[in-house]
């Protein structure tokens, strides 16, 4: 949530910052802003409501020269999304400019204190308190910017990633983090000296350098134009930076000929999942190799239960993971909304394994949930996509999805990546616990290997969805139904539609429908039913009858060759046959495509739906 970019070196900063903002726009797009110090020592701040393109247009005639700058794209938390509340914020003397990601919880008391000391505020934001506080510390302690930031942050309660520049010292960029991610990229200027890039994630940096440093919580860094980098903690104890090489390629951040990132990411799923299982699933030896499990085998063998914490789409994949692990490993699994778990005094035992599932690895509630579990001595396991993310680093062990960067705000390939990773994890534990017969284990391994090809088939055979999506643009509501493994798919299908088309949709366990939602069904109501020819097929057929007799419109996801449900449906999407537990990996694809094409037909901004952000780093 909110994206930060920064640069100091010998190149013009503006093009680097703007490009970086475009790459980070998925984190928020309520407003955007930029601060630059030009060669004459003028500190200029430009900001605009709305997207980065609006900022670009508004500065077209302005002086955007300078080799140091910071920039920000905002997802509003405090104060409405207008130009005044947009970042960067000046200090009172306009000597400092600061951008911030996070929430300052004690901003009211800090603001009152600063106002009593004669400081006047221009915005309603918690961020302005930070920049005013830093300047206040500079003046009251007669110290330099770096020390002032240290002193200021000692008084701050909350989460932050900040970057700050100073008009009177244009050769230094200072940044700090606690609870919100910040990465420093170390490049080389023409003169051979280091130049520094800053990003909320690696996407604005990778084009220039692959050498990065992940700042840790409560660390402050000073980047000097001469190439000097200094990192301390809040108590001024020097920290040794660890240079890491990014595993990210630029073309992964482009649309590659697709009109939207979301469509690209939907189509990427077969290959993304092949990468995800590569080296982990061995069909020849009939084995599953997850080093995160192998290295901590005892923890999984001895634990009495697993708790999975997640939010949003990741919560849906966690639910599928629960069904799979309970079935395969005979181990109780609880799935928790991280935001609830962290505040309700849950019972956590030292012999619990707590798994965090998070695409970004930065979701504030999920991070806080595992921090709570850590305090209770539980073993922490992370399932994240973003390498080096906060959750990946805070957990004892884990597995990366390796599905590549996901940029569309609506999660697609990360969802299927999470499901398949949870299946691998379940199989790996089942192997250690010997809870599956060899025959069943081998069969599940073989079938999992087939899934990427079956996904490809599903994509190729559901291209026609674009042709009839138009028919649903008038709808105000949708119901999604599924049973067993497909209940979470119904939840996910409904979420996708809500997120990007703004049509209200509810996911329900199919049999629960008669306890309420069936009252909503009439000839206007499309009901999407996931009805594979497996497990509870006959029961789902009965559920479809109940809807039909109330004149609801049936859109079904059916197994190839099934003419019964097809015959009962107004529209059908076909998927290949697979084991019950793997059906979600295929059934979700037509639902992703349906929501995508309905949203496109409604003229929505698919990749950047209103009010949403991809990485929710505030609670």
Nearer to ligand G6P, 289 or 612 (CB): 612
Strand, coil or helix: 589: helix
DSSP-derived 3-state class of residue 123: coil
Query: Does position 180 bind ligand G6P by CB under 6 A?
Result: no
The nearest distance, CB 338 to ligand G6P, in angstroms, is 8
In the complex, the smallest distance separating the C-beta of residue 500 from ligand G6P, rounded to whole angstroms, is: 10
The answer to whether residue 269 forms part of the interface with ligand G6P (CB under 6 A) is no
* 360 makes contact with ligand G6P (CB under 6 A): yes
Q: Which of 254, 282, 279, 280 is nearest to 268 (CA)?
A: 254
Q: How far apart are CA 388 and CA 571, in angstroms?
A: 43
Q: Cβ of residue 333: shortest distance to ligand G6P, in angstroms? A: 18
Task: Name the segment binding ligand G6P (CB under 6 A); options: 31-39, 180-188, 319-327, 607-615.
Answer: 607-615
Of 175 and 613, which CB lies nearer to ligand G6P in the complex structure?
Answer: 613
Is residue 341 within 8 A of residue 286, CB to CB? The reply is no
Shorter beta-carbon distance to ligand G6P: residue 38 or 389:
389
Task: Decide: is 617 part of the binding site for ligand G6P (CB under 6 A).
Answer: no
Q: Report in angstroms how near the CB of residue 585 gets to ligand G6P at its nearest.
A: 17
Residue 278 CB, nearest distance to ligand G6P (Å)?
22
* Binding of ligand G6P by 572 (CB under 6 A): no
Euclidean distance between CA atoms 341 and 91, whole angstroms: 38
- Work out whether 614 is an interface residue with ligand G6P (CB under 6 A): yes
If one counts every other C-beta atom within 10 angstroms of the C-beta of residue 210, the result is 17
Tokens of 173: 């960029």
Report whether the peptide linkage leading into residue 88 is cis, meaning its omega lies within 30 degrees of zero: yes
The residue from 209, 314, 462, 595 that contacts ligand G6P (CB under 6 A) is: 314
Is residue 458 part of the contact set for ligand G6P (CB under 6 A)?
no
Tokens of 65: 């020269």
Return the SS3 of 169.
strand
311: contact with ligand G6P by CB under 6 A = yes
Give residue for tokens 């009939």: 286
Catalytic residue among 167, 413, 496, 614: 614
Instruction: Give me the phi and psi of 236, to 5 degrees please.
Output: 70, 20
- Least distance from ligand G6P to the Cβ atom of residue 273, Å: 17
Residue 553 token pair? 């419109």
Q: Which stretch binds ligand G6P (CB under 6 A): 129-137, 178-186, 256-264, 353-361?
A: 353-361
Cα–Cα distance, 330 to 335 (Å, whole number): 15
Choice between 417 and 426, CB closer to ligand G6P: 417
- The position carrying tokens 């970004």 is 360
Q: Is 339 in the site for ligand G6P (CB under 6 A)?
A: no
Taking the least distance from each CB to ligand G6P, the nearer of 45 and 367 is 367
Residue 524 Cβ vs ligand G6P, minimum distance, rounded to whole Å: 29
Alpha-helical (H) ranges within 291-412 are: 291-294, 297-302, 312-329, 338-341, 364-375, 390-394
- Supply angle C-alpha 325, 326, 331, rounded to 5: 100
The number of residues in the chain equals 619
Please report whether residue 312 would count as binding ligand G6P according to CB under 6 A: yes
3-state SS of the chain: helix, strand, coil percent to 5?
40, 25, 35
Residue of the chain from 138, 366, 421, 578 that contacts ligand G6P (CB under 6 A): 366
Indicate if 614 belongs to the active site.
yes
Q: Which residue is nearest to ligand G6P (CB)?
A: 312
Among the listed residues 54, 289, 541, 612, the single contact to ligand G6P using CB under 6 A: 612
Q: How far is the CB of 151 from ligand G6P (least distance, A)?
A: 33
Q: Is 595 a binder of ligand G6P (CB under 6 A)?
A: no
Cα–Cα distances in angstroms (integers) from residue 437 to residues 329, 330, 432, 434, 503, in the given order = 11, 13, 12, 7, 45
Whether 514 sits among the annotated catalytic residues: the reply is no
Show the tokens assigned to 458.
Answer: 């599903």
Binder of ligand G6P out of 215, 308, 392, 409 (CB under 6 A): 409
The site that binds ligand G6P (CB under 6 A) totals a number of residues, namely 15
Using CB under 6 A as the binding rule, whether residue 416 contacts ligand G6P is answered as no
Please tell me the distance from the alpha carbon of residue 389 to that of residue 394, in angstroms, as a whole number: 9
Identified binder of ligand G6P from the candidate list 269, 313, 390, 559, rule CB under 6 A:
313
Handedness of CA 588, 590, 592, 594 (dihedral sign): negative
Tokens of 546: 């109940």
Residues 6+ apart with CB under 8 A from 161: 4, 100, 101, 102, 175, 176, 177, 178, 180, 181, 182, 200, 215, 617
Residue closer to ligand G6P by CB (options 44, 363) is: 363
Based on the shown chain and the rule CB under 6 A, indicate whether residue 380 belongs to the binding site for ligand G6P: no
DSSP class of 238: B
Task: Say whether residue 22 binds ligand G6P (CB under 6 A).
Answer: no
Check binding of 616 to ligand G6P (CB under 6 A).
yes
- 67's CB contacts (< 8 A; 6+ apart) are 7, 8, 9, 10, 11, 12, 13, 39, 225
Is 363 one of the binding residues for ligand G6P (CB under 6 A)? Answer: yes
Kindly indicate which of the ranges 54-62, 83-91, 435-443, 611-619 contains the residues binding ligand G6P, using the contact rule CB under 6 A: 611-619
Give the largest Cα separation in the chain, rounded. 80
The residue among 177 and 431 lying less far from ligand G6P, judged by its C-beta, is: 177
Q: Are strands 379-384 and 397-400 parallel, antiparallel or unpaired?
A: parallel
**Which CB sits closer to ligand G6P, 269 or 363?**
363
Q: Specify the residue, 92 or 269, whose C-beta has the smaller distance to ligand G6P.
A: 269
- Report the nearest approach of ligand G6P to the CB of residue 297 (Å): 27
28 is a contact residue toward ligand G6P (CB under 6 A): no
Q: Give the CA angle between residues 33, 37, 39 to the nearest 5°.
A: 145
Closest separation between CB of residue 274 and ligand G6P, Å? 21
The answer to whether 167 touches 42, Cβ cutoff 8 Å, is yes
321: contact with ligand G6P by CB under 6 A: no
Per CB under 6 A, 501 contacts ligand G6P: no
Q: Which one among 180, 411, 458, 592 touches ligand G6P, defined by CB under 6 A?
A: 411
Alpha-carbon distance 7 to 407, whole Å? 23
Catalytic residue set: 2, 614
Chain residues binding ligand G6P by CB under 6 A are: 311-314, 358-360, 363, 366, 409, 411, 612, 614-616
């Amino acid at each position: 949530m909110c994206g930060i970019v920064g640069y100091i070196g010998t190149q013009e900063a503006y093009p680097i910052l703007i490009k970086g903002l475009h790459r980070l726009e998925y984190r928020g797009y309520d407003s955007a802003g930029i601060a630059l110090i030009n060669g004459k020592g003028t500190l200029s701040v430009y900001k605009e409501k709305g997207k980065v393109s609006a900022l670009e247009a508004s500065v077209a005639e302005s002086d955007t020269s300078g080799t140091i700058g910071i920039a920000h794209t905002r997802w509003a938390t405090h104060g409405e999304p207008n130009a005044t509340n947009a970042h960067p914020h000046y200090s009172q003397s306009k000597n400092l400019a600061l951008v911030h990601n996070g929430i300052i919880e004690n901003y009211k008391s800090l603001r009152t204190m600063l106002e009593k000391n004669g400081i006047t505020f221009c915005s309603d934001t918690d961020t302005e308190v930070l920049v005013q506080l830093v300047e206040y510390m500079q003046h009251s302690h007669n110290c330099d910017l770096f020390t002032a930031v240290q002193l200021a942050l000692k008084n701050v309660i909350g989460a932050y990633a900040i970057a700050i520049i100073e008009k009177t010292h244009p050769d230094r960029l200072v940044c700090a983090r606690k609870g919100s991610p910040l990465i420093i990229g170390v490049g080389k200027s023409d003169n051979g000296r280091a130049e520094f890039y800053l990003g909320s994630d690696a996407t604005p940096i990778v084009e220039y350098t692959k050498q990065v440093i992940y700042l840790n919580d409560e660390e402050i860094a000073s980047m000097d134009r001469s190439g000097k980098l200094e990192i301390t903690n809040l108590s001024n104890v020097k920290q040794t930076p660890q240079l890491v090489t990014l595993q990210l390629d630029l073309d992964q951040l482009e649309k590659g000929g697709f009109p939207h990132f979301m469509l690209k990411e939907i189509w990427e799923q077969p290959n993304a999942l092949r990468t995800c299982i590569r080296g982990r699933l061995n069909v020849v030896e009939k084995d599953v190799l997850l080093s995160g499990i192998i290295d901590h085998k005892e923890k999984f063998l001895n634990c009495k239960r697993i708790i999975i914490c997640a939010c949003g789409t990741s919560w849906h994949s966690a639910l599928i993971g629960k069904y799979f692990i309970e079935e395969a490993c005979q181990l109780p699994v609880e799935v928790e909304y991280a935001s609830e778990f962290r505040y309700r005094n849950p019972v956590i035992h030292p012999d619990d394994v707590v798994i965090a599932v998070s695409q970004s690895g930065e979701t504030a509630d999920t991070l806080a949930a595992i921090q709570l579990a850590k305090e209770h001595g539980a073993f922490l396991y992370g399932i994240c996509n973003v390498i080096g993310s906060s959750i990946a680093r805070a957990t004892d062990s884990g597995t990366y999805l390796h599905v590549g960067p996901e940029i569309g705000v609506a999660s697609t390939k990360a969802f299927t990546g999470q499901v398949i990773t949870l299946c691998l994890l379940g199989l790996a534990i089942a192997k250690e616990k010997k809870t599956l017969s060899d025959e069943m284990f081998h069969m599940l391994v073989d079938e999992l290997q087939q899934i990427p090809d079956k996904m490809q088939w599903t994509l190729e055979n559901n291209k026609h969805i674009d042709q009839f999506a138009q028919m649903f643009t008038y709808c105000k509501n949708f119901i999604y139904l599924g049973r067993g493994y497909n209940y979470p798919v119904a939840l996910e299908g409904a979420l996708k539609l809500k997120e990007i088309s703004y049509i209200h949709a509810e996911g329900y366990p199919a049999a629960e429908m008669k306890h309420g939602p069936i009252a909503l069904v009439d000839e206007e109501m499309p009901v999407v039913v996931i009805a594979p020819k497996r497990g509870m097929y006959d029961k789902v057929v009965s559920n479809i009858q109940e809807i039909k007799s109330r004149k609801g419109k049936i859109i079904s996801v059916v197994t190839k060759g099934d003419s019964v449900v097809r015959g009962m449906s107004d529209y059908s999407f076909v998927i290949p046959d697979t084991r019950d537990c793997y059906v979600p990996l295929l059934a979700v694809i037509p639902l992703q495509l349906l929501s995508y094409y309905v949203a496109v037909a409604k003229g929505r901004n698919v990749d950047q739906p209103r009010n949403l952000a991809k990485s929710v780093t505030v609670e």
